Amino acid sequence: MTATFEEAVDDILTMFKDAWDTTGFGVIYENVVAAEGSTVPPTSTDPWARVMVRHVTGNQSSLSGGLGTQRYTRTGVLIVQIFVPVGEGLSQALQLGKIVADAYEGKASPLQVWFRNVRVNEVGPDGDWYQVNTIANFTYDEVK
């Protein structure tokens, strides 16, 4: 299967949502306006996440065939920033990072977005929060 930019991003974010919803914690999607009265970042002491999808390259990977279509390979990176209150310890941050990593590691989305090099990186304190990032490289094809 192949995907457009929008379809691939939707697949990637759906996989994240399915995994993160099990935690019951808040999430900020960078392309969604915060609800009226909400604060970004949250003011509660509950962990929360911010999700970013960034396309990096897009290369033509085939010549046009008899149908006149061409295949383009897209690559990018998914970055999930996870924040837990400072002083709660690294354990919860790593557990949440692993939930996200497990959603992607060794998997492909329904539209065949493939994930590689999934990792959890400790960033450290950021104000009142301790930050861990879960990062995954992704690849998919588009035919047009």
**Domain residue extents for the chain:** 5-30+44-143
* Residue 6: its H or E element: helix 5-20
Q: Say what the pLDDT of residue 15 is.
A: 97
CA 87 to chain centre: 26
DSSP 80-116: EEEEEETTS-HHHHHHHHHHHHHHHTT-B-TT--EEE
Please give the CATH topology (third level) of the domain spanning 5-30+44-143.
STM4215-like (3.30.2000)
Task: Give the residues of the chain that fall short of pLDDT 50.
Answer: none
Rounded CA-CA distance 55/92 in Å is 29
pLDDT of residue 30: 80
Query: b/e for 76-97, b at 16 or more Cβ within 10 A?
Result: bebbbbbbbeeeeeeeebbebb
pTM to 2 decimal places: 0.87
The reported pLDDT for the residue numbered 16 is 97
